């Protein structure tokens, strides 16, 4: 059984550039990852020596990635979505999917649908096999309350695939019916948005991570608390959890050890604990007891973590970030 108290770093691989996103092949240690070098790689993280194989390139940063069956779909700053057939070893298509930076790409649990979100403030749903555009979900404002361009950072599916959640820079969350594309409800996490009206006339923060609990009743939201100096990530790492159907806040957790942004969230298979990963000057892994609403473990990471992937039984954790790929075990 996975146990956060048994967390152990077992291996780290140095990388020449930041890695922003990772996707893992089910039941295997084989992964795909996208980098600040504009490239997508394939690698076996169980190998003694990391020997990434370059597959293809985007026109800029590769910031989102999902695996849907044999199809790998990646998105980046260039606004393109690229389909790669992992069995045939070739690129299938490249689409001008969004007008601005694609921040995240996720696959539905049945691997039939891809959701992408970008700074054009639109969530688009795509057929994972054909690349056909299925729906556009529009429910986020293009401007912040202070009339600056907003950003749409996060998207996730519920475990049953029936719901989608999207989150933006201002702390606004929308939950959608994935079959109809209709908006069901909204949530707000305003503490995760900081505006400096004096020194910089600039804002920072936002919803950077979203994750439904395994039973689909709870939606966890990750980001950063209020920031004193917005030129740096000097706010506490923050996680909030909602009973999204009623809008009730279940708990608010701010780390007493780490500052920075929670870039990704993941639940344990039984929903007992929640993992938040991210960083600022340094990285962190935050394990929160979902029942007791308190920290189980707060662990310093050797690098700012941008993305994580848990093994199927959650006993192994793969983390990618600034110039490193880290492998952890959580075996109880």
Question: pLDDT tens, 215-250?
Answer: 999 999 999 998 876 666 678 999 999 999 999 999
Mean pLDDT of the chain: 95
Characterize the bridge pairing of strands 324-329 and 113-118: unpaired
In this predicted structure, the answer to whether residue 281 has a pLDDT above a threshold of 90 is no
Strand, coil or helix: what is 143?
A: strand
Backbone angles phi, psi at 177, to 5 degrees: -85, 115
pLDDT at 200: 60
Question: pLDDT tens, 51-93?
Answer: 999 999 999 999 999 999 999 999 999 999 999 999 999 999 9
Average pLDDT over residues 111-121: 98
| Other residues' Cβ atoms within 10 Å of the Cβ of residue 12 | 16
pLDDT at 1: 84
Query: How far is Cα 242 from Cα 48, in angstroms, rounded to an integer?
Result: 42
Percent of the chain with pLDDT over 70: 96
Question: CB neighbours of 12 closer than 8 A, spacing ≥ 6?
Answer: 302, 324, 325, 326, 327
Contact between 165 and 173 (Cβ < 8 Å): yes
Question: pLDDT tens, 15-48?
Answer: 999 999 999 999 888 999 999 999 999 999 988 8
Q: Structural domain boundaries of the chain? A: 139-301
In this predicted structure, the answer to whether residue 300 has a pLDDT above a threshold of 70 is yes
Question: pLDDT tens, 170-220?
Answer: 999 999 999 999 999 999 999 999 887 766 666 788 999 999 999 999 999
pLDDT at 331: 86
Query: How far is Cα 157 from Cα 114, in angstroms, rounded to an integer?
Result: 10
Query: How far is Cα 203 from Cα 224, in angstroms, rounded to an integer?
Result: 12
In this predicted structure, the answer to whether residue 280 has a pLDDT above a threshold of 80 is yes
The HSE-up count of residue 116 (CA atoms within 13 Å, CB side) is 35
pLDDT at 332: 66
At 95, list the tokens: 């689409």
Contact between 200 and 260 (Cβ < 8 Å): no
Question: Shortest CA distance to 202 belongs to which of 149, 271, 156?
Answer: 149
Q: Which helix H or strand E contains 172, and what residues bound it?
A: strand 172-177
pLDDT at 33: 98
At 248, list the tokens: 């009730």
Q: Of 5-19, 144-158, 231-245, 256-270, give the lowest mean pLDDT range.
A: 231-245
Average pLDDT over residues 94-105: 98
- CATH code of 139-301, in short, is 2.130.10.10
């Amino acid at each position: 059984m996975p146990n956060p108290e048994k967390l152990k770093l077992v291996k780290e691989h140095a990388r020449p550039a930041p890695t922003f996103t990772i996707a893992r092949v089910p039941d295997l240690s084989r992964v795909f990852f996208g980098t600040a070098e504009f490239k997508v790689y394939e690698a076996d993280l169980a190998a003694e020596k990391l020997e990434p194989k370059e597959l293809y390139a985007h026109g800029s940063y590769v910031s989102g990635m999902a695996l849907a069956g044999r199809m790998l779909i990646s998105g980046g700053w260039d606004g393109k979505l690229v389909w790669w057939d992992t069995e045939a070893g070739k690129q299938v298509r490249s689409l001008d999917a969004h007008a601005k930076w694609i921040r995240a790409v996720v696959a539905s649990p049945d691997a039939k649908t891809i959701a992408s979100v970008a700074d054009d403030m639109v969530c688009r749903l795509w057929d994972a096999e054909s690349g056909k555009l299925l729906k556009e979900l529009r429910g986020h404002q293009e401007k912040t309350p202070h009339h600056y361009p907003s950003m749409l950072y996060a998207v996730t599916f519920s475990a049953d695939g029936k719901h989608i959640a999207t989150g933006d820079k201002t702390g606004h969350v929308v939950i959608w019916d994935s079959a109809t594309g209709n908006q069901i409800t909204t949530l707000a996490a305003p503490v995760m948005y900081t505006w400096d009206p004096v020194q910089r006339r600039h804002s920072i923060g936002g919803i950077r991570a979203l994750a439904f609990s395994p039973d689909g009743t709870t939606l966890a939201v990750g980001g950063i608390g209020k920031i004193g100096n917005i030129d740096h990530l000097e706010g506490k790492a923050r996680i909030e959890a909602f009973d999204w159907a009623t809008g009730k806040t279940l708990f608010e957790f701010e780390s007493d050890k780490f500052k920075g942004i929670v870039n990704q969230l993941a639940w344990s298979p039984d929903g007992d604990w929640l993992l938040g990963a991210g960083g600022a000057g340094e990285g962190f892994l935050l394990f929160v007891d979902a029942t007791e609403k308190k920290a189980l473990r707060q662990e310093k990471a050797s690098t700012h973590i941008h993305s994580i992937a848990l093994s199927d039984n959650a006993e192994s954790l793969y983390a990618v970030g600034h110039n490193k790929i880290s492998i952890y075990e959580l075996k109880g």
